[in-house]
């Protein structure tokens, strides 16, 4: 028996506009099963798609959540023997097999047509310089509980960054904080970093130079998802303000005002390298690199910003005509990135760490004098997304966060919309 989560139940009711006693109308067509949710809304599902997505225990392992059914044993022209609406969902009888698909799952998964309002999409708040009035912040003591950790991660998901106040100004506490989210990702810079401006690594991060807004690891196939940093001390000098820029917000403005430039940044792959250390030489695979702006192929939504002009390698476009378009596009992109409206400058102090979504928010700093000791870590995007997904299921987007106890384990249904 499927238990609808409150959010879905609410959405289902809103979408159906029907009396609770009415069941959807089911009809069989040549290659598809059609479900009439109400007089205006119809979803169509291919027979083979339905058969392939049976979630009964013999077709889908209830514990491992892996397919047991041999997809290639399904006849290409498979047809239901019968299909009918029952209280719990659509019941389809195949030759020698019965499948039951819950209504809410069918609505969420409907692809012909899609119901975007049924999809659990996270809220993104695009921001500019004015975010300084109320930047997202959680307290260190808070994030040591799952409810607080959920708040922290949803802030990162919504804004692309979040401060943590009250962090003891030690590497140990900061490392422990990083591990609340997931494994620390080891790179050529080490695992948990603790560094000063001594050029210990062949990268401008290890100098006192100003750094323009950029994302890290443009030279990796898989740039780190999150980066956490914490200024432990700054003595005998000044400067070194931190710069944050919302890449999604800047991209949205560029798309609106210069759609052609946006298109070039979305299409042209950009090679990059990290080559300041004799013992390593990083370049992404494939070698052509990735566009500055990458999108979700299904929704078309912007998913990743990858930009570091300093680490860019020689461009060798297949079409010479794009060279001028490229330089015009990055000139506009840079102009938007460096506008006073977009730049959020903040002076970090010991005790306040910041986490930045490296696939969305660009960071930089002003030049400084004196001795600055900074520590921090990279965390992979998959670890971060995994933790956020588990906590979202647990707290249901904050609906029960006040009452949920720390030891509640949410069993993952075979009908989870992300399976
Ligand atoms: Zn089955």
Encode pLDDT of 141-166 as tens digits. 999 999 999 999 999 999 999 999 99
Distance 256 CA to ligand 1 centre (A): 47
Greater confidence (316 vs 50) lies with 50
Strand partners of residue 67? 60
What Rg, from alpha-carbon coordinates, does the chain have? 25
Distance of CA 112 from the midpoint of ligand 1 (Å) = 23
Q: Where is 242: in which H helix or E strand?
A: strand 242-246
> Domain 122-419, what fold?
Double-stranded beta-helix (3.60.130)
Ligand 1 centre distance from Cα of residue 100 (Å) = 8
Name the H helices within 120-214.
140-143, 146-159, 171-179
- Distance (angstroms) between ligand 1 centre and the Cα of 115 equals 25
14 CA to centre of ligand 1 in angstroms: 30
pLDDT given at position 5: 42
pLDDT tier at 402 (50, 70, 90 boundaries)?
very low
Ligand 1 centroid–CA 409 distance in Å is: 27
User: Coil, strand or helix: which one is 354?
Assistant: strand
Q: In angstroms, rounded to a whole number, what is the distance separating the alpha carbons of residues 312 and 289?
A: 10
CA of 58 to the centre of ligand 1 (A): 6
397 pLDDT band, cuts 50/70/90, is: very low
Between CA 341 and CA 25 the distance in angstroms is: 53
* Distance of CA 59 from the midpoint of ligand 1 (Å): 4
User: Mean pLDDT score of the chain, rounded to an integer?
Assistant: 91
Could you tell me the distance, in angstroms and rounded to a whole number, from the CA of residue 55 to the centre of ligand 1? 6
Domain limits, the chain: 6-118, 122-419
- Near ion ligand 1, which residues have CB within 5 Å? 54, 56, 59
**For strand 137-139 and strand 161-165, is the pairing parallel, antiparallel, or unpaired?**
parallel
Specify whether domain 6-118 bears CATH 1.20.1050.10: no
pLDDT digits (tens, 9 = 90+) for 317-363: 889 999 999 999 999 999 999 999 999 999 999 999 999 999 999 99
User: How far, in Å, from the CA of 56 to the mean position of ligand 1?
Assistant: 4
Cα of 391 from ligand 1 centre, angstroms: 30
Which one is predicted more confidently, 50 or 205? 50
- CA 305 / ligand 1 centre spacing (Å): 41
Q: Which of 132-136, 236-240, 394-398 ranks highest by mean pLDDT?
A: 132-136
**C-alpha separations of 393 from 147, 194, 286, 385 in Å:** 12, 35, 36, 12
Q: How far apart are CA 12 and CA 18, in angstroms?
A: 10
């Amino acid at each position: 028996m499927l238990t609808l989560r409150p959010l879905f139940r609410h959405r289902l009711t809103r979408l159906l506009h029907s009396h609770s006693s009415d069941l959807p109308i089911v009809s069989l067509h040549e290659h598809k099963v059609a479900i009439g949710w109400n007089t205006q809304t119809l979803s169509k599902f291919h027979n083979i798609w339905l058969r392939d997505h049976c979630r009964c225990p013999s077709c889908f392992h209830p514990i491992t959540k892996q397919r047991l059914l041999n997809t290639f044993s399904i006849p290409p022209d498979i047809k239901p023997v019968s299909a009918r609406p029952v209280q719990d969902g659509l019941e389809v009888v195949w030759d020698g097999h019965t499948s039951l698909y819950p209504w809410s799952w069918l609505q969420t998964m409907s692809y012909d047509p899609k119901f975007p309002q049924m999809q659990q999409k996270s809220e993104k708040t695009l921001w500019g310089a004015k975010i300084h009035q109320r930047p997202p912040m959680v307290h260190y003591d808070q994030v040591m509980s799952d409810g607080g950790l959920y708040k922290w991660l949803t802030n990162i998901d919504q804004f692309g960054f979040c401060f943590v106040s009250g962090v003891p100004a030690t590497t140990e506490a900061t490392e422990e904080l990083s591990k609340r989210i997931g494994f620390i990702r080891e790179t050529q810079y080490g695992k948990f970093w603790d560094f000063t401006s001594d050029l210990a690594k062949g990268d401008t991060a290890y100098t006192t130079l100003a750094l323009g807004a950029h994302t890290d690891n443009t030279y990796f196939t898989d740039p780190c998802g999150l980066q956490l940093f914490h200024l432990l001390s700054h003595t005998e000098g000044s400067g070194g303000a931190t710069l944050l820029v919302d890449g999604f917000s800047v991209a949205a403005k560029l798309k609106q005002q210069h759609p052609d430039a946006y298109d070039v940044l979305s299409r042209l792959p950009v090679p990059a390298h990290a080559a300041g250390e004799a013992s390593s030489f990083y370049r992404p695979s494939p070698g052509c690199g990735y566009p500055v702006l990458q999108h979700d192929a299904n929704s078309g939504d912007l998913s990743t910003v990858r930009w570091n002009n300093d680490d860019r390698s020689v461009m060798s476009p297949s079409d010479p005509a794009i060279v001028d378009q490229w330089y015009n596009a990055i000139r506009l992109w840079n102009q938007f990135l460096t506008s006073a409206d977009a730049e959020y400058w903040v002076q970090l102090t010991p005790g306040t760490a910041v986490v930045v979504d490296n696939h969305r928010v660009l960071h930089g700093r002003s030049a400084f004098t004196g001795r600055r000791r900074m520590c921090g870590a990279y965390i992979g995007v998959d670890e971060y997304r995994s933790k956020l997904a588990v906590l979202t299921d647990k707290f249901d987007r904050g609906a029960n966060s006040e009452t949920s106890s720390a030891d509640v384990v949410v069993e993952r249904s075979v009908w989870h919309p992300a399976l």
